[in-house]
């Protein structure tokens, strides 16, 4: 009986040691894992990801330097401009939120998850652009998409693309069914460019066609610029 008790006690101690080792190891490793997941790019960073960032920023006219994979002063200024335009923390540090806004995703799992929701956003935004701005200059089509995205960051409007687009009476294309018109390839491209950060509207949250507008109120909005048939306003 005593021998069995001693064996049981020994096994219990062994199990407790394993549990203790597992817990302490997890506590030690967890911060390291979080640090790995929270990797950021900043002034002085180099590599292919920096080249990809520079390419995106250059395509959207934030960056005018060379694609050299070196995070220097010009890249820093471009990143801060992009962050300011997209409602991000303006610190020049490229973390997950800035990478997502740039359309750059880490890892296959993250890409797979983001691609699903991203594709839905592209399709819906493209349909709205197609219904509202077919026949407009390409820059104007992107600007219409940018207005939708600007509204998602403005507390006066819904915080999602779908919420903004389907807000009652917000867009003629939803009311008259033009949102379901045959899709043009330019509309899809324009949606992608808007989602990737290009904002030709200059931060507008309203636009209208003066030849068809029926609201006197919309004329009171401060004008930012005119692109094609649309006036883009604050």
Which residue, 197, 174, 2, is CA-closest to 102? 197
Which residue, 214, 209, 213, is CA-closest to 228? 209
DSSP category for residue 218 = G
High-pLDDT (> 70) share of the chain, %? 77
Res 130: pLDDT: 97
CA 13 to chain centre: 52
pLDDT tens for each residue of 42-89: 888 888 889 889 988 988 889 999 988 899 999 999 999 989 988 888
Q: At residue 213, does pLDDT exceed 70?
A: yes
Res 3: pLDDT: 52
Which residue, 187, 115, 178, 208, is CA-closest to 145? 187
- Alpha carbon distance 22, 19 (integer Å): 5
Show the 3-state SS of 12-24.
HHHHHHHHHHHHH
Q: At residue 139, does pLDDT exceed 90?
A: yes
Set out the domains of the chain in order of their start, with CATH numbers.
48-102 (1.10.101.10), 116-233 (1.10.10.2520)
Res 152: pLDDT: 92
CA angle centred on 177, ends 176 and 183, rounded to 5°: 135
- Residue 33 confidence class, pLDDT cut points 50, 70, 90: very low
Q: At residue 111, does pLDDT exceed 50?
A: no
Q: At residue 35, does pLDDT exceed 50?
A: no
Res 78: pLDDT: 94
Beginning with the edge strand found earlier in the chain, give each strand of the sheet holding 206-208 in spatial order: 206-208, 230-233, 223-227
pLDDT tens for each residue of 149-189: 999 999 999 988 999 999 998 999 999 999 999 999 999 99
Q: Which of 95-99, 135-139, 201-205, 229-233 has the lowest mean pLDDT?
A: 95-99
pLDDT tens for each residue of 2-29: 555 455 556 655 545 444 544 443 444 3
Mean pLDDT of the chain, nearest integer: 82
pTM over 0.85: no
Mean pLDDT of 124-146: 96
- Alpha carbon distance 48, 67 (integer Å): 10
Mean pLDDT of 110-127: 69
Contacts of 110 (CB under 8 A, 6+ apart): none
Q: Which of 114-118, 129-133, 210-214 has the lowest mean pLDDT?
A: 114-118
- Alpha carbon distance 36, 39 (integer Å): 5
């Amino acid at each position: 009986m005593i021998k069995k008790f001693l064996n049981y006690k020994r096994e219990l101690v062994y199990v407790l040691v394993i549990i203790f080792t597992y817990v302490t190891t997890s506590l030690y490793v967890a911060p390291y894992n979080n640090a790995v997941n929270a990797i950021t790019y900043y002034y002085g960073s180099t590599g292919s990801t920096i080249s990809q960032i520079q390419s995106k920023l250059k395509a959207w006219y934030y960056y005018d330097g060379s694609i050299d994979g070196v995070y220097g002063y010009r890249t820093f200024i471009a990143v801060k401009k992009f962050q300011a335009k997209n409602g991000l923390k303006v610190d020049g540090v490229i973390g997950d939120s800035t990478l997502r806004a740039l359309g750059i995703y880490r890892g296959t799992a993250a890409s797979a998850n983001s691609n699903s929701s991203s594709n839905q956003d592209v399709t819906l935004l493209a349909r709205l652009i197609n219904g509202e701005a077919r026949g407009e200059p390409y820059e104007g089509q992107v600007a219409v998409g940018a207005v939708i995205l600007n509204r998602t960051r403005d507390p006066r409007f819904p915080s999602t693309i779908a919420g903004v687009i389907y807000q009652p009476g917000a867009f003629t294309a939803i009311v008259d069914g033009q949102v379901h018109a045959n899709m043009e390839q330019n509309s899809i491209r324009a949606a992608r460019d808007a989602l990737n950060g290009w904002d030709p509207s200059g931060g507008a949250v309203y636009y209208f066609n003066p030849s068809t507008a029926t609201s006197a109120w919309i004329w009171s909005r401060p004008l930012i610029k005119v692109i094609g048939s649309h006036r883009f306003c604050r």
